[in-house]
Amino acid sequence: MIDKIKLQNFIESQLSDTDCYLTNLKITPDNEITVEIDSDTAVDLDFCISLNHAIEEAFPTDEENYELEVGSAGLTSPLRIPRQYQKYIGKEMEIYAADGKKYSGILSAADNEKATLTVSRKVRHEGEKRPVTEEVEISFPYPDIRKALYILNF
């Protein structure tokens, strides 16, 4: 089985001079390797192909038999690392929290520890008959996020 740390370090070295970054690396017991990358701008097919060839050259299949798939994180893929969240600041998101609740709103901030979502909530103030809608910011430490998705609006 291919050493995941060696492979990850190799991939990250290949991406270091680009605006691309590794979002997910999965190696199954059957040696099926899935490499998912993202970019601050865009990932094109030619880049995925060249990364695939570089991996195959550095980790020859005659030494270790494996199946390799290199692809980009699609718009419908869940966000996995803080850099992806930073890319989507100002965009509509859905966050599924560890407490089982789903939150929808605008991603207003993201750093290396947490993501902040601005959501609309109905709040009833004391002495008022009807609730009013207010914008509230909710911060989610990354370990408390089960899944985060960019909302596509057409």
Q: What is the pLDDT of residues 98-112, one digit of tens each?
A: 999 999 999 999 999
pLDDT classification of 52: cutoffs 50, 70, 90: very high
CATH 2.30.30.100 maps onto the chain at 82-150
Chain length of the chain? 154
Give the pLDDT mean for 74-95. 93
**Residue 154 pLDDT greater than 80, yes or no:** no
Task: For 13, list phi and psi in degrees, rounded to 5.
Answer: -70, -35
| CATH number for the domain whose boundaries are 4-72 | 3.30.70
**Residue 152 pLDDT greater than 90, yes or no:** no
Tokens representing 28 are 């199954």
Residue in this structure with the two tokens 């989507």, named with its chain if needed: 88
Start and end residues for every CATH 3.30.70 domain found in the chain: 4-72
Domain 82-150 has CATH 2.30.30.100: yes
State yes or no: pLDDT of 129 exceeds 90. Answer: no
pLDDT in tens, 132-149: 899 999 999 999 999 999
pLDDT at residue 64 greater than cutoff 90? no
pLDDT at residue 126, as a whole number = 85
Q: How far is CA 12 from CA 2, 32, 51, 120, 143, in A?
A: 16, 19, 11, 39, 23
pTM for the predicted model, two decimal places? 0.84
pLDDT for the residue numbered 76: 84
Q: What is the pLDDT of residue 67?
A: 95
Weakest mean pLDDT among 101-105, 127-131, 149-153: 127-131
pLDDT at 72: 94
Residue 73 carries which DSSP code? Answer: P
